[in-house]
Structure 1
Amino acid sequence: MEEEEAILFWDEFAQDYAQIQQESSLQIAKEVVAYLLEQQVFPISIFVDFAAGAGRYIPAFYPYVNEYYAIDFSKEMLRIIEETIDDPQNKLHLIQQSQSDFLTTDQHWPCIFMAMNPALRDKKTLLQLRKKTDQLIILRTIAEVENVFQPFEEDPVAEKELQLNTYYKKWLSEEAIEWRSCQFEYMVKEEIDRDLFHLYFEDEYSLEQRKQMVQRIFGESLTVESHTKITFELLLSR
């Protein structure tokens, strides 16, 4: 996806994305704070939240940062941050900037954090980001296993996304750049009924196929509990 197309996509998707983030019950932000305190990253004078999105991590990180720079190429994402996140100490700076423009500036930062950055996909970009900071922190989902819907889904793109942290570690190690990692695991449970299951797969499978799938998953039950195990990994390089 070209940069202009990506900006348009995320501008249009911003409200839905923010809603998804808001509805998430995962305590990942609090656990990341605890780890960064343990590693003596926090407290810190200047902190860059790159590809900040709708600002999911800002409320948790805010108390430990003197000057907080939230950078994203989507003006709609930044607008959501401005409208929904309190800044009582007037230390939150919102900057609309693309990754390519960010990398071409000469400024060096004490710390750059990024969570699920969709544009970090190659070794050159990773090394450029590492050179721009004393501490590079990358958070990604590395595994997501679910028992009701996932057995009938194939998504090679999503599977490749889950492998990105593995590549980051490999690329850093190839350049003898030190890194350490920490994983966070969560279990999400949800009650699923037969109607929802049928509706979910309506466009992908025939009615007869869906009946067989329902029999396999539900048996004689009207509902089943979906279990989703999600694993995040945080990389810290300094």
Structure 2
Amino acid sequence: MLEDLVIIQNDLLKSYLEQIPSGLQQAFDDLHDAELSTSSFSFYTSVSSVFSSKIEGEMIELDSFIKHKRDGIPFQIDYTRKIDDLYDAYIFAQENSLNESNIAGAHMLLSKHILDKQSQGNFRKHNMYVSTPDGRIEYVAALPGQVKEEMTKFYNDLDQLVNTPLSIEEVFYYAAMIHLVFVKIHPWNDGNGRSARLIEKWFIAEKLGEKAWYLPSEKYYYNQHNLYYTNIRRLGLEYIELDYNQALPFLLMLPKVLD
């Protein structure tokens, strides 16, 4: 029973279902791959990788990455390699089930040129905070001693959701909530946002099929990045004080990807 969820909140589901746009199923069914995709190149995986990276401050353009990835046009390695790593993580997710071991494996891939090898796929052991460009702390994540326990709760809830039949509306609700809870725990030394956005889409694919990989959610979040971060910040400054009753504006962003 989903009433047994511990950390992935379902208290807002009723309000969410009352506000979610109609026609979600038809809009999802209408998703399709792009003509630019080939047997060895995925356009929408490139979109996901580029825009999720741009949210984190990477200075790369989609057109350049497509020329690099699809057509083999050479660019400076520093310009493309972190996005190449994230692309590999998305491909890995498309080929593997969503679970604790594979999430760690995806993080190892996407953090290949971000973190030292010992930190790839392993929980952090240091305090973690998010700061603004002018040096203000805007969020203090779970303490290092809390991370393992909180992630155990997260993975137990995730397994329950993966194995429970859900409507498409419920899938979108829980996908966004999974994204939010993961990024609030902030379990890695780096790569938390990239991981959270990947896991969100991975969950949708697990529940609804491969068309989920055509959702341009990362592009939408990038285009709305000020609102994206505002809605994440609504929950509070410190992990122990988070108020998930403030999560609805964030949760309602995901279905708008299909508008």
TM-score (norm 2): 0.23
Compare relative contact order (CA 8 Å, sep 6+) and give the higher one, 1 or 2: 2
More strand by share: 1
TM-score relative to the length of structure 1: 0.25
- Greater share of residues in helix: 2
